[in-house]
Amino acid sequence: MKPLHAQYPFLDAAREAVEAADVDLARVVRSDEAVLTRALDRIETALDSGRVGDTHRRDRVELLSYPVARVLVSLVDQHILTRKYAAAEAATAHERLQAAFTEGDDLKSRDRERLTIQTLLTEFGMRQTVRETAEGYAVGVGTYLTYASDKREDQWRLVNRPLQDGEVELTEVELLALVEQAIEQRVADGLPLGVPEAIATHLEAERERLEERLADLDLTRDIDTVVPDLFPPCMSALLDQVQKGEHLEHHSRFAIATFLTTIGLTTDEIVDLFEVNPGFGEEATRYQVDHIRGKTSPTQYSPPACSTMQSYGDCVNKDNLCEQISHPLSYYEAKLDDADEDELIDWREEDEAATSES
């Protein structure tokens, strides 16, 4: 097991090194505390910071913590965790690669094996469709779309890129960003794994700990997009009731109001929405929403978790994604993540367009 395998445990060579060492994963989770601790650390750091943390000083521990982390992620089996974990492994590798390419001398001085762009392209089956040019790289459009389609920024949209003879021009930095995407896909590939009972039993405490972390997670961080078509079924149903002017119990009003404030609606926008409902006087609604968002109270409230929604009877019309999440915000975040760019038209932008057309 080489340092390179520990640094980049998703590589084929790293997997082969683990196989060649004939490692018994059941024995590792039973008796190797250092590996288990680092595996848990990989995932918890992924949730906290979008990276998987510093490498363990022992290459063996670092390398084996990767398959054990994948087992843990599989046991929890929640879309949001799988996605955040895979993205964190990829982001960490990306940072290491960038550092390695800019600080090559430092790595050589420690006599370490190095990854090159060419070995990475071979690793991810991109060698045939990427070629070096005087300015950077030319990437076949098929390969480009495979790895750039999940990127949201305008710069990655094909219409915004020079395209010549079926190739897209990229800088080295941009090519590395595509490699990061390939790494994320590699890490997520095959998850959730089928975990033998003998291993699952030993990881019961770690699984529960991760589930608690997920339930506590502040899922409100990055959401500022209002696309009702992607709302979780429970919130769609509540919004529908509001707009039909039906009476909502206090807990239901609280759930939909906290959800809408959390995803970025202003108090005015929510008041406008609720105005059609006879149960909502403007003043009372404005007061309640300002209170929820922490403007007139010391607390900014979050929407209830699925378990609370279920106990109040607000969890309705569950679909397949509902089986994989524990919070309506996780549902919405997963939907936003999986949506095509075309689907992500913010409700407020649609309204503005309609107003300016009329």
Taking the least distance from each CB to ligand SF4, the nearer of 43 and 234 is 234
Q: Does 315 bind ligand SF4 (CB under 6 A)?
A: yes
b (16+ CB within 10 A) / e for 141-150:
bebbebbbee
Nearest to residue 9, comparing CAs of 75, 57, 61?
Answer: 61
Residue pair 147/178 in contact by the 8 Å Cβ criterion:
yes
Site string for ligand SF4, 178-217 (x = CB under 6 A): ----------------------------------------
Binders of ligand SF4 among residues 324 to 353 (CB under 6 A) are 328, 331
Taking the least distance from each CB to ligand SF4, the nearer of 90 and 309 is 309
- Number of shown-chain residues binding ligand SF4 (CB under 6 A): 10
Q: Considering the complex, what minimum distance in angstroms separates the CB of residue 313 from ligand SF4?
A: 10
**Which of 151, 251, 318, 335 touches ligand SF4 by CB under 6 A?**
318
Cα-based distances in Å from 261 to 97, 224, 256, 302 = 39, 9, 9, 9
Taking the least distance from each CB to ligand SF4, the nearer of 39 and 334 is 334
Q: Considering the complex, what minimum distance in angstroms separates the CB of residue 251 from ligand SF4?
A: 12
**Alpha-carbon distance 316 to 238, whole Å?**
9
Taking the least distance from each CB to ligand SF4, the nearer of 78 and 181 is 78
Phi, psi for residue 139 in degrees, rounded to 5: -115, 130
Site string for ligand SF4, 217-256 (x = CB under 6 A): ---------------xxx----------------------
b (16+ CB within 10 A) / e for 203-216:
beebbebbbebbee
Torsion sign over Cα 319, 320, 322, 323 = positive
> Which run of H or of E encompasses 131?
strand 130-132
Residues that bind ligand SF4 (CB under 6 A): 232-234, 306, 309, 315, 318, 322, 328, 331
